[in-house]
Amino acid sequence: MASSFLGRHKGRSSKLIKEYDEKLLAQIAMAMKNWNKVKDNSDRVINAAIDDELYYQRQLARAKYLYLYHEARLRGTKSDQLMPGTEKKFLE
Q: What does the pLDDT look like over 57-82, one tens digit per residue?
A: 889 999 999 999 899 888 888 776 66
CA 89, CA 84: separation in Å to the nearest integer?
Answer: 10
Q: Could you read off the pLDDT of 1-48 as tens digits, one per residue? A: 444 444 444 566 888 888 999 999 999 989 999 988 888 877 777 666
Residue 1: per-residue pLDDT: 41
Instruction: Tell me the C-alpha distance between 37 and 2, whole Å.
Output: 52
Query: What's residue 76's pLDDT?
Result: 86
Cα 77 from Cα 20, distance rounded (Å): 10
Q: Is the dihedral of CA 43, 44, 49, 53 positive or negative?
A: negative
**Angle of CA points 70, 73, 77, to nearest 5°:** 130
